[in-house]
Chains A and B, each alone.
Chain A
Amino acid sequence: MDTIFGVPTQALFGQLLIGLINGSFYALLSLGLAVIFGLLNIINFTHGAQYMMGAFVAYFLANKAGLGYWWSLVLVPLVVGFTGVIIERLMLSKLYKLDHLYGLLLTFGLALIIQGLFRNQYGTSGLPYAMPAELAGGRNLGFMFLPNYRAWVIVASLAVCIGTWFVIEKTKLGSYLRAATENPALVQAFGINVPRMITLTYGFGVALAAFAGVMAAPIYQVSPQMGADLIIVVFAVVVIGGMGSIMGSIVTGFALGLLEGLTKVFYPEASNTVIFVIMAIVLMVKPAGLFGAQK
């Protein structure tokens, strides 16, 4: 058939592929949030700012240290993840015995501070970050021109998502983490350093955000705002997927990307809202999310 619902089939496939690429971005971003909430019960509002920091640190590495994209992919998550560790040690750990909402408010405040400081320093026009030469260009797939970088985004994102899921759900380390959050006292009694595990988990979630930031730098504008509006969408993804479920966030991220892609074809003005509509529906029907278990 030449057209589906009035849209040429070729164009539709192109849009679906784009949707998949965007979905892999959402999945990568929501992964960090899901890890932090799933294991630590903290809503990390700072996630968007940490994503932004990832992109900026990549820019600094490129411009001040001459270290390119591939170096950044490794170093940036470590650097930003380290700042996450500091935040957890100095501030978040004080709030665990309180209502979870305080954690949300703290990370919200931190997000405002970080974004405000970067905006003061760097303005809002954004900074250029070059596409790594190895990934430039693209190939013509017949129904669309696919830039190599976008293909790389899908691959990298899938790899990191599946890898993280595997570590948390299928390895011994992951099982320690999961046990530690369900019953910290008992796990501590077994001689496992629970506070340190928690700190490292938070750091890991933040590192994932920063990794997404590095991935974004060549294609989206590196500006202090880049995380601010994205964070709300990512929340929606995590909530729909199930706030404790890693697989839920990954699947939902990709699915939502596809759905948003479809909306952009048929009713583009609503592509911003469709995610929230779905979130509202899911929360009413299955409040723990599609893959989540009510805690």
Chain B
Amino acid sequence: MKLKRTVIAAALAALAGAANAQVSDGIIKIGVMNDMSGLYADIAGPGSVVAAKMAVDDFGAAKKGMKVEVVGADHQNKPDIGSSIANQWYDVDKVDAIFDVPTSSVALAVSEITRKKGKAFLVSGAATSDLSGKACSPNTIHWTYDTWMLANGTGTAIVKTGGDTWFFLTADYAFGHALERDTETAVLKNGGKVLGKVRHPFPGQDFSSFLLQAQASKAKIIGLANAGGDTINSIKQAAEFGIVKGGQNLAGLLVFITDIHSLGLQTAQGLIFTESFYWDLNDGTRAWSKRFAAANGGKYPSMVQAGVYSSVLHYLKAIEAAKTDDGTKVIAQMKKMPTDDPLFGKGSIRRDGRKIHPAYLVEVKKPSESKGPYDYYKIRATIPADQAFRPEKDGGCNL
């Protein structure tokens, strides 16, 4: 079977190679790679594939005579599985572009492979700001958010609203350190003070002793430089130890709406963090999210899934304009065109591959303030697009 496919593909490639102003194999193949079954399955997972398909439909590919196919794969948060899939997709399955990829270690690996093979990579799920910094590439665009945006947004905004003494509870691995470092910089820059930090082993289960230390520090804000299950456990146990009742506030540095859904408002109320998308922001986001939920089993979209929709849409528009699906050329085209969709509004893509759009500082509602499931956030502040992301010169990207 594989032999036959390889032969046909080779023949097509030979034919297509002659007319390089055309789409390869006649099909635009989009690969959505993420964690379908583990830690990030709810944030991205099958929902991202749904978002991608919605983007293809909304673009009207069929009416424009463009054949677009969407495939998905589970990288299980492991860089070796992710790179195997990327290699196989590009070499054998003729995938033209990969989307999503949460988990920074996998994203970095896929970015490298994409660059070697001259394809396109639109990252929505991964957080590391290195993707538009020292690991930047002419074949990669970093979409939805990154660690700098989170750290700076949350750190700056909280200090400005009075939360000027901080204590960090950090997951002891590269990502946690990076979050802590970026947030500390933002806090200090705005005149805040860091009263202490403690590193917990990753992954952790019981945070009581670390929370005790945070309580003893009497810092106004306890910054949770961790993610996923660690954040959820930290928040749950903080509630148990009466931390919020005792007057301290928790700042989540990487929190998604699915985490709040799993914690419940009773426990999560008062949590402050930054996101770049919320379904209830405006009419555009509401309409889209209701359509998404209907196609996704009633689950509302996370910012990662919204990012997949937005990036697929822009990608297809760029192919239409550039009349080719050669990865490097399409990425260059995407950077030339400003972005506009109902989810992120108007934005642009910088030369270093960083997508720019506004970010929002949100606070979790009290149970009494919420009218139903997923009605969880109050928007505390909007961070304008030009301030939300790290300045291009500070990134260390040499594109």
Give yes or no for direct A-B contact (beta carbon below 8 Å).
yes
Query: Is B201's beta carbon under 8 Å from chain A?
Result: yes
Q: List B residues 209-249 near A (Cβ within 8 Å).
A: 209-210, 212-213, 215-216, 229, 232-233, 236-237, 240-242, 246
Which B residue's beta carbon lies closest to that of A131? Answer: B240
Interface size, chain A (Cβ < 8 Å): 43
Contact check, A119 vs B240: say whether CB atoms are below 8 A apart.
no
Whole-angstrom distance between the alpha carbons of A215 and B365 in the complex? 29
B261 partner, pick from A10, A125, A273, beta carbons under 8 A: A125
Q: List B residues 254-269 near A (Cβ within 8 Å).
A: 258-259, 261-264, 266-267
Classify chain B: how many residues form its interface, as a range. Answer: 35 or more
Contact check, B37 vs A144: say whether CB atoms are below 8 A apart.
no
Query: Is A149's beta carbon under 8 Å from chain B?
Result: yes
A127 partner, pick from B199, B215, B240, B262, beta carbons under 8 A: B262
Whole-angstrom distance between the alpha carbons of A138 and B238 in the complex? 13
Whole-angstrom distance between the alpha carbons of A123 and B46 in the complex? 12
Query: Is A134's beta carbon under 8 Å from chain B?
Result: no
Which B residue's beta carbon lies closest to that of A229? Answer: B203
Contact check, A269 vs B199: say whether CB atoms are below 8 A apart.
yes
Taking the nearest CB of chain B, how far is it from the CB of A114, in angstroms?
15
Taking the nearest CB of chain B, how far is it from the CB of A263, in angstroms?
10
B242 partner, pick from A21, A127, A138, A270, beta carbons under 8 A: A138
Query: Is A109's beta carbon under 8 Å from chain B?
Result: no
Taking the nearest CB of chain A, how far is it from the CB of B100, in angstroms?
17
Q: Which residues of A contact B242 (CB under 8 A)?
A: 137-138, 145, 147
Q: Which residues of A contact B259 (CB under 8 A)?
A: 125
- Contact status of A265 and B209, CB under 8 A, knowing A145-B241, A225-B229: yes
Whole-angstrom distance between the alpha carbons of A128 and B267 in the complex? 10
Q: Which of A57-65, A96-104, A181-189, A216-224 contacts B (4 or more CB under 8 A)?
A: A216-224
Contact check, B41 vs A123: say whether CB atoms are below 8 A apart.
yes
Which A residue's beta carbon lies closest to that of B203? Answer: A229
Q: Which residues of B contact A200 (CB under 8 A)?
A: none
Query: Is A18's beta carbon under 8 Å from chain B?
Result: yes
Contact check, B232 vs A126: say whether CB atoms are below 8 A apart.
yes
Which B residue's beta carbon lies closest to that of A120? Answer: B37
Contact check, A124 vs B39: say whether CB atoms are below 8 A apart.
yes
Query: Is B172's beta carbon under 8 Å from chain A?
Result: yes
Among A8, A125, A264, A265, residue most surrounded by chain B Cβ atoms (within 10 Å): A125
Q: List A residues 226-254 near B (Cβ within 8 Å).
A: 226, 229-230
Taking the nearest CB of chain A, how far is it from the CB of B189, in angstroms?
27
- Contact status of A128 and B208, CB under 8 A, knowing A138-B241, A220-B233, A268-B198: no
- Contact status of A126 and B209, CB under 8 A, knowing A119-B38, A138-B241, A269-B201: no
Contact with B along A19-39 (1 / 0, CB 8 A): 101100000000000000000
Query: Is A11's beta carbon under 8 Å from chain B?
Result: yes
23 CB contacts below 8 A, A to B, read A14-B209, A15-B209, A19-B209, A22-B208, A119-B37, A124-B37, A124-B41, A126-B262, A138-B242, A145-B241, A147-B241, A150-B208, A219-B236, A220-B206, A221-B229, A221-B233, A221-B262, A226-B205, A229-B203, A268-B200, A269-B172, A269-B199, A273-B201
Question: Which A residues have a C-beta under 8 Å from some C-beta of B?
Answer: 8, 10-11, 14-15, 18-19, 21-22, 119-120, 123-128, 130-131, 137-138, 144-145, 147, 149-150, 219-221, 223, 225-226, 229-230, 261, 264-265, 268-273
Extra contacts, 12 of them, besides A10-B216, A225-B229, A264-B209 (Cβ < 8 A), are A18-B208, A120-B37, A125-B262, A127-B262, A128-B267, A138-B241, A145-B246, A147-B242, A221-B236, A229-B205, A269-B199, A269-B201
